[in-house]
Structure 1
Amino acid sequence: MTESAQPAPGQMVRSSPLTRYRLADNPGPMSLDGTKSYIIAASEEGTCVVVDPGPDQEDHLQGLAAAGEVALILITHRHPDHTAGAERFHQLTGAPVRAADPAFCFGGEPLRDGEVIEAGGTQIQVLATPGHTSDSVCFYLPRDGSNGSILTGDTILGRGTTVLDYPDGTLQDFMASLDKLGKLGPATVLPAHGPDLENLESVVLTYRDHRDERLAQIRAALGTLGEGATVQEITDAVYADVPASVRPAAELSVAAQLEYLRVTR
């Protein structure tokens, strides 16, 4: 799926041999085109797994429920554009909701790092990938095409780079999660926002390069402004071109990077 071919909200799109998604009608500076709710199923006649029911929009949830018999609902992380509709979707389908954070589980147990779930006619491996948030997980589908695929939530986006929800999410955790994901090789990346990406290993290298570049800019700003420079002053220097709508996210990234530099010195 190329960026120019992004679907309209409500359209069901085939994203890989084992996955489809429905785009929620919640576009914005942080959600890009909207949140993609994925359906995992080896066969359209069998049961399926829904990943991130998305916002509490009745038409969106009803559309997901109509896609097949839902056996399980999985959550990538706690943010409301992924979870606000989870309890209602549990009521609609009767399927248990599982997340890393017990607060977002409904009728299901918390997810465990490394566990392999047999559902939807296939295998789904849970990978804890904190950084965007402390409870972020990705779902690896080793049988999805020749290289497998991975549903990355907001850990890796289809466009741009991931915001760290500091202090809940830290750059130390995020860099370790990138290392973990890079070991999966050229799997197809199925993000919750933006277009799909072809090669996880390559995307991870791009993400690391971007973080290293930003850290170098932060160090340079500290050299000019002094070690006592505020987050706001450093954001002015390093993220001067970001629009006002994403300025708070830029400040969170600066705060996370300053902590990373303190810890890793």
Structure 2
Amino acid sequence: MGGHVTGAAAALADELPGWVTLLRAPNPGPMTLDGTNTWVLRVPGGEYAVVVDPGPADEEHLAAIAAHGPVGFVLITHRHPDHTEGSARLRDLLGGVHVLAADPAHTIGGEPLTDAGEPFGGFGLKIHLLNTPGHTADSVCFLVEHGDERVVLTGDTILGRGTTVVAHPDGHLGDYLTSLELLSTYRGIPALPGHGPALADCGAAAEFYLAHRRARLDQVRQAVAEGATTAPEVVARVYADVDRSLWWAAEWSVRAQLEYLGFASRESGTGVTELEQP
């Protein structure tokens, strides 16, 4: 969800390490931008690759990923279907490799990703799990190293263009701000997002996102002060210049912002959720 921001949050990456390949799924749309990015990581001369986010259950896309086999394992950044729907079918195409996610429901054949301490990987890659909840409760990023080159795979926590939604109630704004603060420490390292182009500087993009979120909070406070009494009314004020077809997604973020600011809600007699002052 781009909101008022439609450009990139940082400069685009001029080039990517030679061991990084982008395969973009054919599912473009307002929420997926150009389509879901599947990233294939293989060191030069390496036998096995690592795949990040299989994407949708599109046979041609999954066959294109499988053509880069053999694959050591598949990683998942978060549970949304545009990233995970093709997981089971890709696993079959790859001969039963493990699919590893933070959410046990999307982990196939291995153990869920829980330890953000020791790096894991193999195949010439060192992979660090970064717990980055906020967009969803199970969102993670991956810092991947090969030699002196590093990249951060950000899923939907940072996009290549625009800003992401906080998918309330699964997503949580306080968690998201903490995750952005963590990612802001990875200055000068390219960000490989779940949608859109690669960015040159993960840390700079995270700082941009933090400033954007804080500005949004100020706008939400002002909307409530000026008389907005429901989340849809806040959306209409704060996201007035966004296509109305995307207001349902904006409402996720607004509800997360209202919760973060301490506004409780209650069901009125007409079935409308109204805000109560903190």
For residue 126 of structure 2, the aligned residue among 123, 128, 132 is 123
Cα deviation for residue 113 of structure 1 reads 3.7
Query: Residue 9 of structure 1 corresponds to which residue in structure 2?
Result: none
Most deviating of 75-84 and 254-263? 254-263
User: Cα gap change, 1:44/1:64 in structure 2, threshold over 3 Å: closer, same or farther?
Assistant: farther
Which one-letter code corresponds to 2:235 in the other structure?
T
Query: Residue 54 of structure 1 corresponds to which residue in structure 2?
Result: 55
Structure 1 contact 159–194 (Cα < 8 Å) conserved? yes
1:232 aligns with 2:232: yes
Query: Residue 187 of structure 1 corresponds to which residue in structure 2?
Result: 189
Which one-letter code corresponds to 2:54 in the other structure?
P
User: Which has a greater percent of helix?
Assistant: 1
1:75 aligns with 2:76: yes
Query: Residue 27 of structure 2 corresponds to which residue in structure 1?
Result: 26
1:135 aligns with 2:138: yes
Structure 2 contact 135–171 (Cα < 8 Å) conserved? yes
Q: Give 3-state SS (helix, strand or coil) of 2:112's partner.
A: coil
Cα deviation for residue 164 of structure 1 reads 0.7
Structure 1 contact 44–68 (Cα < 8 Å) conserved? no
Query: Residue 170 of structure 2 corresponds to which residue in structure 1?
Result: 168
Structure 2 contact 49–123 (Cα < 8 Å) conserved? yes
CA–CA distance in structure 2, aligned partners of residues 37 and 74 of structure 1: 10
Query: Residue 221 of structure 1 corresponds to which residue in structure 2?
Result: 223
Which one-letter code corresponds to 2:212 in the other structure?
H
CA–CA distance in structure 1, aligned partners of residues 164 and 212 of structure 2: 11
Percent identity (aligned): 47
Most deviating of 107-116 and 197-206? 107-116
CA–CA distance in structure 2, aligned partners of residues 254 and 145 of structure 1: 41
Q: Give 3-state SS (helix, strand or coil) of 1:124's partner.
A: strand
Cα deviation for residue 237 of structure 1 reads 0.8
CA–CA distance in structure 1, aligned partners of residues 129 and 20 of structure 2: 16
Structure 2 contact 52–75 (Cα < 8 Å) conserved? yes
Which one-letter code corresponds to 1:58 in the other structure?
E
Which one-letter code corresponds to 1:118 in the other structure?
G
CA–CA distance in structure 1, aligned partners of residues 240 and 88 of structure 2: 40
1:230-253 Cα offsets, whole Å, 9 max, x none, are 001111111111112211111111
Which one-letter code corresponds to 1:109 in the other structure?
E
Cα deviation for residue 34 of structure 1 reads 0.1
Query: Residue 101 of structure 1 corresponds to which residue in structure 2?
Result: 103
CA–CA distance in structure 2, aligned partners of residues 20 and 144 of structure 1: 17
Query: Residue 247 of structure 2 corresponds to which residue in structure 1?
Result: 247
CA–CA distance in structure 1, aligned partners of residues 191 and 39 of structure 2: 13
1:91-119 Cα offsets, whole Å, 9 max, x none, are 11121000000111111110024141123
Q: Give 3-state SS (helix, strand or coil) of 1:97's partner.
A: strand
Listed as ranges, the gaps of 5+ residues in structure 1 are: 4-13
Most deviating of 41-50 and 90-99? 41-50
Listed as ranges, the gaps of 5+ residues in structure 2 are: 1-6, 9-14, 264-277
Which one-letter code corresponds to 1:34 in the other structure?
G
User: Cα gap change, 1:144/1:158 in structure 2, threshold over 3 Å: closer, same or farther?
Assistant: farther
Which one-letter code corresponds to 2:59 in the other structure?
E
Structure 2 contact 181–207 (Cα < 8 Å) conserved? no
What is the Cα-based RMSD across aligned positions, in Å? Answer: 1.8
Q: Give 3-state SS (helix, strand or coil) of 1:141's partner.
A: strand
1:200-225 Cα offsets, whole Å, 9 max, x none, are 11111110110111111111111111
How many positions carry a matched residue from both structures?
250
